Amino acid sequence: TEELLIKSEKLAVVGQLSAGIAHEIRNPLTSIKGFLSLLRSSIDKNNERYLEVMVSEMNRIECITNQFMAVAKPQATSIQLQDLKILIEQVSVVIIPEAIMNNIQIIIQAEADISLIPCEENQLKQVFINIIKNAIEAMPMGGEIIVQINKADDHHVNIRFIDQGCGIPQERIPYLGEPFYTLKEKGTGLGLMICYKIIKEHQGTILIESEIDKGTTVDITLPISYINHD
Ligand code: ADP
Ligand code: MG
């Protein structure tokens, strides 16, 4: 359809742009960050908070360029069989400090005997981090994020992220995953685009359901083994 075409055209443009810009920005960025941290020891107390702001803004730029790079980089993929529960646990270790700061509890519910999944570990982790971050950002008053891992059928596993956040208006759901589509003041609108791209590469699907002020469920289905055409 027309909508899908626009989506993939935008993706291509983003890819070209990001390949060039993100890479060029990263080197000067690294050197500025290095010098900022050198300043830390010699700066006087009154100015310390300016330094804090600079460091946090630099981190933000770094985060955005990393997201661009993830889209642009033709990654050398190494597909290995992984235990999704372990991947989710490793991701939550990284993200729990942010969750705690926001009064949020992450609850993992995994069915026993879930099959291993062929995947690019770091890419799937990136997907999970993006989705959990969105859930955290949707719950400024705190709450629970439930991550369920279930068998979908004989050939698929299902990972569901359920939050109790602000929800997404129905009419906006079709636009999720378009580059730069964000409703946040400081958002990039790249997180879900990356998720869709990576899950598609894994021959999986993402389904988002949401209800305003009730919460959002992001439902990922992944194949237990890739279909090979022999
Ligand atoms: P960003 O987080 O930078 O805005 P994303 O691509 O990650 O970009 O998400 C796009 C938009 O989708 C967000 O701005 C937000 O409005 C909406 N969204 C995504 N996940 C959730 C969620 N769990 N709850 C509420 N809104 C969400
Ligand atoms: Mg996001």
The model's pLDDT over 147-200, given as tens digits with 9 standing for 90+, comes to 999 999 999 999 999 999 999 999 999 999 888 788 888 787 888 988 998 899
- The vertex-222 CA angle with 220 and 225, nearest 5°, equals 175
- The vertex-95 CA angle with 175 and 28, nearest 5°, equals 80
The model's pLDDT over 86-128, given as tens digits with 9 standing for 90+, comes to 999 999 988 898 899 999 999 999 999 898 999 998 889 989 9
Q: 40 is written with which tokens?
A: 């830390």
| Ligand 2 center from residue 139 Cα (angstroms) | 13
- E strands along the chain, which residues? 80-82, 104-110, 117-119, 143-153, 156-162, 205-211, 215-223
Q: Tell me which residue has its CA closest to atom 19 in ligand 1.
A: 134
Atom of ligand 1 nearest to the CA of 187: 3
Instruction: Tell me how far apart the alpha carbons of residues 206 and 208 are, in angstroms, rounded to a whole number.
Output: 7
Ligand 1: residue of 7, 136, 192 to mutate (most ligand atoms within 8 A of CB) is 192
Pocket of ligand 1 from Cβ distances under 6 Å? 130, 134-135, 138, 163, 165-168, 176, 181-184, 187-193, 216
Structure confidence at residue 24 (pLDDT): 78
Question: How far from chain centre, in Å, is Cα 223?
Answer: 20
Atom of ligand 1 nearest to the CA of 166: 25
- The vertex-126 CA angle with 190 and 61, nearest 5°, equals 50
The model's pLDDT over 20-59, given as tens digits with 9 standing for 90+, comes to 677 778 888 888 888 888 888 888 888 888 888 888 888 8
| Ligand 1 center from residue 96 Cα (angstroms) | 19
Amino acid, res. 156 = H
Q: 166 is written with which tokens?
A: 């602000």
